[in-house]
Amino acid sequence: MTNTATLPAPPASDQPVRIRIEGMNCAGCVGKVEAALAQTEGVVTAEVSLTGAMALVHGQGLDAEALVEAVRSTGFDAVPLLRRETLTERREAMERRRQQTVKKWRSRVIVGALIWLPLETLHWFGGMMGIDAHHGNWLWFSVIGATVALFYLGSAFYASAWKAARVRTTNMDTLISIGATAAFLLSIANLARMQQSGHDGVQLPLYFTEAAGLLTLISIGHWLESSMTARAGVALRELLALQPEEVTRLAAPTDHDGKTLPTEEVMPGDLILVKPGERVAIDGEIVSGSTSIDESVVTGESIPVDRDEGGMVVAGSLNLTGRLVVKSSTDGSSTTLARIAEIVLNAQSGKTQIHRLADKVSSIFVPAVLGVAAVTVLVWGFLVGDWTTGIISATTVLVISCPCALGLATPTAVMVGSGAASRKGILVRSAEALERASAVSAIAFDKTGTLTLGKPQVVQAEDEVLATAAAIASASTHPLSVAIVEAARDRGLTVPPAGNTAETPGVGLVGMVMGEQVEIISEAKAAEREIALPETPDDASVSAVVRSGTLAGVIAFRDEPREEAVGLIESLREQGIEPHLLSGDRPGVVESIAARLGIDPANAHGGLSPEEKVTMVRTLSGDRRSEPMDDAAGRTPTPQRKRVTLAMVGDGINDAAALAEAGAAGGIGIAIGTGANVAIESAGVVIPGDRITSLGELLAIGRLTMRTIKQNLTLSFMYNTMAIPAAAFGLLGVHGPIIAALAMALSDTCVIGNSLRLAARLRRPGPIE
């Protein structure tokens, strides 16, 4: 066990705490750890990943050492991750854990096969070779072989079962340990009776071969499981491998040689050399050189883009043609690629609602199976009078009931789905977001920068008004502000200096220009302040420029729909998903864009403030919080609305609250990757900014992932539903434990294989359907 007692105790924190856990091997283990963490002071939620061997704990005033002790109290080793791991460290830890697990079970399989196969051959074919495997030295060969198998192969199962017993609980290894031990001890008892009665006595059934075979076959199942689970997680390991482990740091852009150092030692401002054919190791700005660069790791788009001096590059992208010197904008451990990997890891560590249900079933499954096994022994012994059959049937029940497949049904599929999404530039923050994406029945789009290009053009403005507006607009990244600045530059206008600028989402900009307060406000805000505006085109967006409280003029804009947006809307409608358009823009503009995109005019909602967008999201979701209050009765009586899984898609600061509300209402917030940071942080999913069609890919991946999860769970439940009664009634015969071990290994293989089938499907070129 890893000893962390010498580490300094970290302070209590409101930040999430991640803990690496060793030794878990079933859904019951996960449930025990989660229950222990949930009882720790300050914990709000605790999610434990079986496949990732990790716990992610959220709460207030979290004490990492207390959380580790809680995990250790359940019998598992735990180490707190007190700092963010580098991609290299994370990749090496995953690979080391994978190799250790595979090696552990492979060695047991080899030893078990060397013992069991000769015993099984003698058992079935000994008579043909003139060997009596049931008497004399050959019988003792079976006894010794089974004993070695019990101690060597069984040691892993006994150790795990003992850990569980120490904290007064059970796990799947409890079933295996009791089953194998019961078969072995029954054989010892029968052998003793035969020795006492002499060679002419009654031949009693011996299960030494079956005990060795049972442990060998279950070890084979674990070996296949660990190997196939590793394959299911290949997408994350590939992602982690995209950032180079070392970089060349230069003293100046003109240097040709530099110093090689680990990527994690890079600091902001360092100059990093990137040669043609190398991957970019850090985020930063090109200060020397030009190139074509493959950014598919971030955007999902395989077509290279050109970058020259002043352009930005991101970690993980591939430099194709030219020599670059990049000025780092982050440290080596906080790159875009590192954040992407963090999001993918969080998603794979998280749980869907259906996964939580499966965990609840697993938590009571093992005790229930122990009860069934006990009843089986008693019924066969007291009512039928056949204790031998009772013990063998009970052993078969214990072995065939192991809930491995149930524990693997959801996490393997989520691992594949979230990994496939990341390869297409789609970042799914949680497993629940992926689950909700599969059930979306309505989508609310922001207009600007989402369904439109987000590059509005100024179509009407006086030069003086435009120059004054550009002074404060230069401090904003809003598409309308960018359009104002570009229009002023194109006209060659002199823009005065500005100060004390501030931006209020849904309201506008304010700042000081030449000693006067200047505001850029929306048409709706101008109407609230009773500022009369001149006539402008109905299909144009309008902003008012106010100087010292008096209207100085207006600026009119037009924004074109994205070329691919029409096809996306048509595809969504064919799938039965109802599109809506929400915008703070004037209703006429919103209706015009909706008509061009094929959105029902009744679903075009314009003139919305950020607060009204939140209310609209609640309304579309069927959330009763959106209903008006009545002073006398509390709420105005309205018909019960059907709950809808709504996706809200946006990119701006003014969309952040609506994105968060969509998640809170049981739907999903989807941010455009090129949008504002606050919008991205508020969303459950981030899609590439230049590929709105990736929204369709997200929904398809969500549906396929949930379909695979349901198939896996159906396989698991059907297996146990049919297997347990057959075992309890003795229908599998005297070789029941061996058949049970084969069936359990087969069920695990079927579940993981089904998830790998999903992986193969998502890797195929072309659209995902």
Sign of the CA dihedral 227, 85, 424, 347? positive
∠ Cα 288 294 298 (to 5°):
105
Place of tokens 């031998």: 388
C-alpha to C-alpha distance for 425 and 381, rounded to whole angstroms: 62
Query: Which residue, among 321, 418, 412, 401, has the nearest Cα to 367 in the 3D structure?
Result: 401
Query: Which residue, among 213, 373, 31, has the nearest Cα to 745 in the 3D structure?
Result: 213
C-alpha to C-alpha distance for 171 and 302, rounded to whole angstroms: 46
Contact, 79 vs 68, CB < 8 A?
yes
Q: Which residues contact 764 (CB under 8 A, 6 or more apart)?
A: none
Phi-psi sector, 515: left (phi>0), alpha (psi -120 to 50), beta: left
Give the pairing of strands 442-446 and 646-650.
Answer: parallel
C-alpha to C-alpha distance for 538 and 535, rounded to whole angstroms: 9
Q: Which residues contact 750 (CB under 8 A, 6 or more apart)?
A: 405, 715
C-alpha to C-alpha distance for 15 and 84, rounded to whole angstroms: 12
Query: Which residue, among 300, 655, 313, has the nearest Cα to 454 in the 3D structure?
Result: 655
| Catalytic residue selected from 63, 283, 446, 651 | 446
CA distances 623 to 260, 577, 640, 668, Å, are 57, 18, 10, 14
Number of residues assigned to the chain: 769
CA distances 684 to 436, 649, 654, 661, Å, are 10, 10, 17, 11
C-alpha to C-alpha distance for 214 and 231, rounded to whole angstroms: 26
DSSP for 446-476, please give it: EIIIIIB-S--EEEE--HHHHHHHHHHHTT-
C-alpha to C-alpha distance for 686 and 692, rounded to whole angstroms: 11
- Sheet of 312-313: strands edge to edge? 259-262, 246-250, 271-274, 324-328, 284-288, 312-313
C-alpha to C-alpha distance for 568 and 199, rounded to whole angstroms: 81
Q: Bridge partners of 580?
A: 444
631 catalytic per annotation: no
**Phi and psi angles of residue 10, each rounded to the nearest 5 degrees, phi first:** -75, 150
- What 3-state DSSP class applies to 507? coil
State the catalytic residues. Answer: 446
